[in-house]
Amino acid sequence: DYKGQKLAEQIFQGIILVSAIIGFIYGYITEQFGWTVYIVMAGFLLSCLLTLPPWPMYRRNPLQWLPVQESGAEEKKSADRKPKRHAKS
């Protein structure tokens, strides 16, 4: 559903943003860029774990699909149409 997709996107972006800020600050304090990368990668993995599986919180508003039509209805519609006449060359 669209609301679930929006929620997953907001969670994903929020975790990435927070982990990037924390990683930058910690990396700046320790003067090691590697820690920044590790913290951002950990945030990415956490956000993937929370947003990629189809958790029930993302499926609260299912879409209403059209009912299935029988195949005989399609054949009847195509038989009712008049054949198109092509321009003569």
Domain that includes residue 11, residue range: 2-55
In a domain, 61, yes or no: no
* Distances 1 to 6, 66, 71, 76 between C-alpha atoms, Å: 9, 15, 28, 34
Q: What is the pLDDT of residue 79?
A: 57
In a domain, 78, yes or no: no
In a domain, 47, yes or no: yes
Rounded to 5°, angle at Cα 1 from 54 and 50: 30
CB 55 within 8 A of CB 5: no
In a domain, 39, yes or no: yes
In a domain, 73, yes or no: no
Confidence of residue 87 (pLDDT cuts 50, 70, 90): low
pLDDT tens, position by position, 22-50? 999 999 999 999 999 999 999 999 999 99
In a domain, 87, yes or no: no
Specify the pTM. Answer: 0.68
The number of distinct structural domains making up the chain is 1
In a domain, 43, yes or no: yes
